Structure 1
Amino acid sequence: MEWDVVEVQTEQPLALRVLFADGTQGQVRFEPSHLTGVFAPLKDPVMFSQVHIDHGALTWPGDVDLAPDAMYDAIKTHGEWVLR
């Protein structure tokens, strides 16, 4: 799918640079206020840096993941996806 993530790298704290299968690229940023519930473990920089790609989605240990289609739509429109 066009929204499959094919490359990810961590940037500044709580930010990622992603590349999609169709060449679209942009940034994903987490606001600290979003890091609650299932996302709370991502407050730990070591855990955050363990991001990887699983079947086109960004995933962390503990079954934490992000929907690649919503991420793609936001980045295609705004160049970034801010999770607040």
Structure 2
Amino acid sequence: MLIDVVFVKPRKDFQLELEFANGEIRIFDMRPLIAVKPWNRIASPGIFQKASVEYGTVVWPGGIDVASDTLYLDGKNL
């Protein structure tokens, strides 16, 4: 199940508001991931806020990303 992310809005407390290609909007909590490598490199609010969408998923500077399937399946409906 590959559903592309089309929009991301970084929120406070390391959460992502995501819009998917199917029109669904979900919230994904990054806090569990930023406790481990390689996501610990985006653990500062300034870096976390630089999230953007590329190739259907969320990416950060330095080559950090999260699979769109993970974002969709583990995200909560808004």
TM-score by length of 2: 0.84
**Matched residue, 1:18:** 18
Which deviations, in whole Å up to 9, do the C-alpha atoms of 1:22-42 show, x marking residues without a partner? 1011101122x5322111111
**Matched residue, 1:79:** 77
**Matched residue, 1:34:** 33
Which structure 1 residue ranges, 4+ long, deviate > 2 Å from structure 2?
Answer: none
Deviation at 1:2, TM superposition (A): 6.2
How many angstroms apart in 1 are the aligned matches of 2:24 and 2:44?
28
Q: Give 1:43's aligned amino acid.
A: A
How many aligned residue pairs are there? Answer: 77
How many angstroms apart in 1 are the aligned matches of 2:50 and 2:16?
11
Q: CA RMSD in A?
A: 2.0
Asked whether 1:59 is paired with 2:59, we answer yes
Q: Give 1:69's aligned amino acid.
A: D
User: Gapped runs of 5+ residues in structure 1?
Assistant: none
How many angstroms apart in 2 are the aligned matches of 1:48 and 1:60?
7
**Matched residue, 2:70:** 70
SS of structure 1 residue aligned to 2:13:
coil
How many angstroms apart in 2 are the aligned matches of 1:70 and 1:53?
15
TM-score by length of 1: 0.79
User: Gapped runs of 5+ residues in structure 2?
Assistant: none
Is contact 2:2–2:68 with CA below 8 Å preserved after alignment? Answer: no
